[in-house]
């Protein structure tokens, strides 16, 4: 090729053409550095006919500067990039950037210097140094990363290096990973598991696109079963991607994987250190990486030869990305498998309605594991009607639940209390004047966190110290907490069971893989009597001594008129219930509710999943909601309230009139103020068959909006 067209990493630019200097070899997918004005830009060489643009005359072409020493992006992944950009109304550049992940992965040196504490002391201790040294205990990373971690300047750390308190360690970014062995410690599957495994193994060996919905109750051995498919891919020398919804789950998974295959898989998530990121990226692109376990972003990595994708806990909402490119990793996983011509397994005990519908219409093949492994019984489920069994004043656990908790402590068994609310209390007010503490950047209350003595916004991360007097009326020590969060429930347990060992498990307390691992180890060793947790603990964990699950407030998710509220509540409660009685002892689940007659609660009490899904299907059909209709949200935001409103109105005023598509709004978005931006929203509702994305793209392309206005499109939004 002597001239090439590049997809460049700048969403504001279209494709750019370049000349290829003599003697330089490029192909489609090559990652190149090219000139852009006085600067340089990274791009990927693309098929010309797929990126139409006005051709640049030969004489005007500038030469590409460098072909980066990484394998070219394969056509399968190029097609996925195109599909993702097209389907989610995003720019090709923003999707392509997810593939390259970080420039560091491409250009980095083969080795990097990291630093760690030597145990020595500085000649002169300063508060800053002391703080940094405390924060860096057990850490090893580059100066930049350590500075971020310890929240000090690079200079402070350089000082510590000079004093011999921090020492350099040379890290080889290309050192090999341990090899997994398909036959390391195979397990004997029961007949039901065998049948499912045989189907999946055959699919891996067939090397063609095949989507599966692995629908099995909690503890049925879904993981054990799909491990056989992983083994089949390993035997073929092909790569496997396992997507997990939560980094806290990874640690338990890694250990399990290592037991089975003799080596831990490669982990990929957003908080990887740059050296680990570079090492993983290169191993994945070269084909050295065998199995990658990752968060949703692992889906866009440049696997050399993918043989299988598994999406575990596929119903989880954390697979939906809600900023940048707003994609659903569950759906993109199926598309990636299609382009790669490989099988994909969506595993869940409570599949999304969309996935069940795909199975019903024959697009996905459904594989069932209807009973728990080893004869473990599904737990007994009881409803606690809070309108009759009232908790004591200022308390949240009703007598039937506290009685069961007592019994567990006496028998030395474990309990789990589930409440999907971090912090101590969701709302704080002034006892004197009723002033409510609100976030200045968002339409949200500040949540009190007692452990960290902070009022925090769960939307933008803003934190402040709780004041001693009310900012409104000035009254001293007037703050009252309203409603429960997990910390408050933990306090209540400590009051009624003073000897119980209580652990709070949320994304605040288990915010690193190490902390998550320590928690799992403690819980497994029986060093915790009562776990109080958010949705983080509803899935993936397997604690054999856990025999009681208490759902503190089953009505929580049902408030707020969200179309998916019922499904989400059902899934969450069913998942957390699935933590009980996984070992030899039977489990009990108590669900506290003020609405025992609601269809969700009734279905849960009766263990009648089919009834729930049938009712939910009808409701969705009636509302034109997925999977029967399609929704898309157009969010218009600005730091200026009037500017956002005017822009939203202007967009609404030019709305296209198309058959089968209805446009609602604009109206203030559910979070009308988020991170300092005022937000308005238009909702597009369409029949499945309508070309919504084309309509939206054409519509928005015609707009001319003020600079401060941002418009983003959310196709298949999760909540609205
Ligand atoms: P799921 O993923 O469906 O929740 P798991 O795969 O985690 O189920 O299995 C639940 C528990 O049962 C795990 O501790 C697992 O090791 C065990 N188990 C499942 N199947 C087998 C088997 N065939 N042999 C031995 N242990 C098994
Ligand atoms: Zn906020």
Let me know if 597 is exposed, middle or buried by CB neighbors in 10 A (0-12, 13-18, 19+).
exposed
- Identify whether 465 is preceded by a cis peptide bond (ω within 30 of 0): no
Which ligand 1 atom lies nearest to the CA of residue 217?
A: 3
Pairing assessment for the beta strands 546-551 and 447-449 based on DSSP bridges: unpaired
- What residue ranges of the chain have pLDDT lower than 50? 103
* Distance (Å) from CA 540 to ligand 1 centroid: 11
pLDDT of residue 146: 86
Annotated binding-site residue numbers for Zn(2+): 430, 433, 439, 442, 457, 460, 470, 473
CB 106 within 8 A of CB 44: no
**How much is the pLDDT for 540?**
66
Tokens of 237: 């020398």
Alpha helices in 662-718 (DSSP H): 692-701
> Ramachandran region of residue 394, left (φ > 0), alpha (ψ -120 to 50) or beta?
left
Ligand nearest to the CA of residue 538, numbered in listed order: 1
Residue ranges for the binding site? Answer: 430, 433, 439, 442, 457, 460, 470, 473
Q: Where are the beta strands (DSSP E) in 206-335?
A: 210-216, 239-243, 266-268, 291-294, 306-312
- The closest residue, in CA terms, to atom 21 on ligand 1 is 221
Cis previous bond, 666, omega within 30: yes
> Which residues, 6+ apart, have CB-to-CB distance to 610 below 8 Å?
none
Ligand 1 nearest atom to the CA of residue 225, by list position: 6
| Residue nearest atom 9 of ligand 1, based on CA coordinates | 221
* Ligand 1 pocket mutation pick from 373, 376, 523, 540 by most atoms within 8 angstroms of CB: 373
* Pocket perturbation via mutation, ligand 1, pick of 185, 192, 224 by most ligand atoms within 8 A of CB: 224
User: Residue 658's pLDDT is what?
Assistant: 86
Cβ–Cβ under 8 Å, residues 224 and 193: yes
Residues with CB under 5 A from ligand 2 (ion): 439, 441-442, 457, 459-460, 462
Which sign does the torsion angle of CA 18, 23, 25, 30 carry?
Answer: negative
Question: 591: closest CA among 643, 625, 644, 553?
Answer: 553
How far apart, in Å, are the Cα atoms of 273 and each of 102, 138, 145, 578? Answer: 11, 14, 8, 34
Residue at token pair 């990595």 = 301
Angle between helices 609-623 and 599-606 (to 10 degrees): 160
The sign one gets for the Cα dihedral 616, 621, 627, 632 is: negative
Secondary structure class of 206 (helix, strand, coil): helix
What are 709's two structure tokens?
């206005």
**For a pocket test of ligand 1, which of 192, 200, 219, 371 has the largest count of ligand atoms closer than 8 A to its C-beta?**
219
Q: What is the pTM of this model?
A: 0.89
In tens, the pLDDT along 277-327 reads 888 988 999 999 999 999 999 999 999 999 999 999 999 888 999 888 999
Q: Which ligand is nearest to the CA of 440?
A: 2
């Amino acid at each position: 090729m002597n001239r090439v067209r590049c997809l460049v990493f700048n969403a504001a630019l279209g494709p750019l053409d370049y000349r290829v200097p003599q003697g330089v070899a490029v192909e489609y997918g090559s990652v190149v550095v090219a000139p852009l004005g006085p600067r340089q830009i990274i791009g990927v060489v693309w098929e010309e006919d797929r990126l139409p643009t006005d051709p640049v005359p030969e004489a005007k072409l500038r030469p590409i500067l460098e072909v980066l020493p990484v394998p070219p992006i394969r056509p399968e992944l190029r097609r996925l990039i195109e599909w993702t950009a097209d389907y989610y109304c995003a720019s090709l550049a923003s999707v392509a950037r997810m593939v390259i992940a970080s420039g560091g992965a491409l250009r980095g040196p083969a080795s990097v210097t990291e630093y760690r504490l030597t145990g020595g002391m500085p000649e002169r201790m300063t508060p800053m140094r002391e703080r940094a040294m405390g924060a860096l205990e057990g850490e090893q990373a580059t100066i930049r990363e350590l500075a971020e971690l310890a929240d000090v300047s690079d200079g402070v750390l350089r000082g510590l290096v000079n004093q011999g308190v921090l020492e350099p360690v040379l890290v080889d970014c290309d050192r090999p990973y341990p090899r997994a062995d398909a036959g390391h410690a195979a397990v004997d599957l029961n007949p039901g598991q065998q049948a499912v495994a045989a189907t999946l193994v055959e699919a891996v060996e067939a090397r063609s696109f095949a989507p599966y919905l692995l629908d099995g109750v909690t503890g049925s051995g879904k993981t054990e079963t799909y491990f056989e498919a992983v083994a089949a891919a390993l035997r073929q020398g092909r790569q496997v991607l396992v997507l997990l919804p939560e980094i806290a789950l990874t640690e338990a998974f890694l250990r399990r994987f290592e037991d089975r295959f003799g080596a831990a898989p490669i982990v990929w998530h957003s908080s990887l250190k740059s050296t680990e990121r570079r090492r993983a990226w290169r191993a994945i692109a070269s084909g050295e990486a065998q199995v990658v376990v990752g968060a949703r972003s692992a889906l866009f990595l440049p696997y050399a030869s993918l043989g299988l994708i598994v999406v575990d806990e596929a119903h989880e909402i954390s697979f939906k990305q809600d900023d940048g490119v707003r994609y659903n990793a569950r759906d993109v996983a199926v598309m990636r498998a299609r382009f790669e011509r490989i099988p994909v397994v969506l595993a869940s005990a409570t599949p999304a309605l969309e996935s069940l519908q795909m199975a019903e219409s024959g697009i996905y093949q459904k594989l069932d594991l209807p009973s728990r492994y080893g004869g473990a019984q599904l737990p007994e489920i009881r409803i606690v009607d809070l309108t009759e069994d009232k908790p004591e004043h200022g308390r949240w656990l009703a007598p039937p639940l506290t009685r069961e908790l007592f019994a567990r402590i006496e028998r030395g068994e474990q309990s789990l209390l589930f409440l999907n609310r971090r912090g101590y209390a969701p709302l704080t007010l002034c006892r004197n004047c009723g002033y409510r503490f609100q976030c200045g950047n968002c339409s949200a209350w500040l949540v009190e966190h007692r452990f960290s003595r902070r009022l925090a916004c769960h939307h933008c991360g803003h934190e402040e110290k709780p004041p001693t007097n009310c900012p409104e009326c000035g009254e001293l020590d007037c703050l009252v907490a309203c409603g429960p969060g997990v910390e408050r429930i933990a306090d209540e347990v400590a009051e009624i069971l003073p000897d119980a060992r209580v652990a709070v498990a949320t994304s605040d307390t288990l915010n690193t893989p190490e902390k998550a691992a320590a928690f799992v180890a403690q819980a497994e060793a029986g060093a915790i009597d009562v776990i109080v947790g958010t949705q983080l603990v509803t899935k993936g964990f397997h604690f054999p001594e856990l025999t009681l699950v208490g759902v503190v407030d089953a009505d929580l998710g049902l408030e707020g008129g969200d179309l998916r509220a019922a499904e989400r509540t059902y899934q969450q409660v069913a998942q957390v219930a699935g933590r009980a009685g996984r070992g030899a002892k039977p489990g009990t689940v108590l669900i506290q509710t003020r609405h025992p007659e609601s269809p969700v609660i009734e279905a849960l009490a009766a263990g009648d999943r089919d009834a729930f899904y049938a009712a939910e299907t009808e409701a969705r059909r009636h509302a034109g909601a997925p999977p029967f209709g399609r929704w898309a949200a157009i969010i218009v935001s600005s730091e200026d309230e009037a500017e956002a409103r005017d822009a939203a109105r202007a967009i609404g005023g030019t709305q296209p009139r198309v058959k089968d598509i209805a446009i609602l709004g604009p109206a203030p978005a559910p979070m009308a103020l988020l991170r300092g931006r005022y937000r308005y929203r238009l909702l597009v509702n369409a029949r499945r068959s309508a070309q919504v994305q084309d309509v939206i793209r054409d519509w928005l392309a015609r707009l001319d909006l003020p600079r401060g206005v941002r418009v983003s499109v959310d196709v298949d939004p999760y909540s609205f």
